[in-house]
Chain A
């Protein structure tokens, strides 16, 4: 069964610290993987997309990695800011039918 699991479910860190969010998937065949940021009370907004051949991609203080062999992706946030408080959602696209499999998200809280 195609599944996407994210960990941890929630995370609290101090402002200025780094953190890494995990996304493990069992989707096959794999097309690509996208990370979304969802602020409280808002819709998700895309941060980055990772294709099969990409290992690392950065978007400002956000760096996503992908290991297609182990079917794992991570989102690393550097020098966290209060505005990084949000839920981060991983979604994997299956190549066979372009199905989107959504993770439940990681809720990140940045404390001053």
Chain B
């Protein structure tokens, strides 16, 4: 079953703008990960944030984690047309090593 819910489900922005998407989850987690999926392709791992971390950066990506609210956000700054993809959050439970994926946010960056 899916644990994460992502918001918004779809996002359309102009190149150069920032894109923000949110992920909420229900149970305790060990870590939260963000993945990108281009249409019809596999998943690319973007960033992992552990439950004891609050913010993490990787290039143009910024991820926050609020365990008290059971939510995370992914910010893509200065978006490019190549950022057009679906973005998924996935949580790793404390009890095992399975990943549970959120519903995803489809991002369209218009040139």
A binds B: no
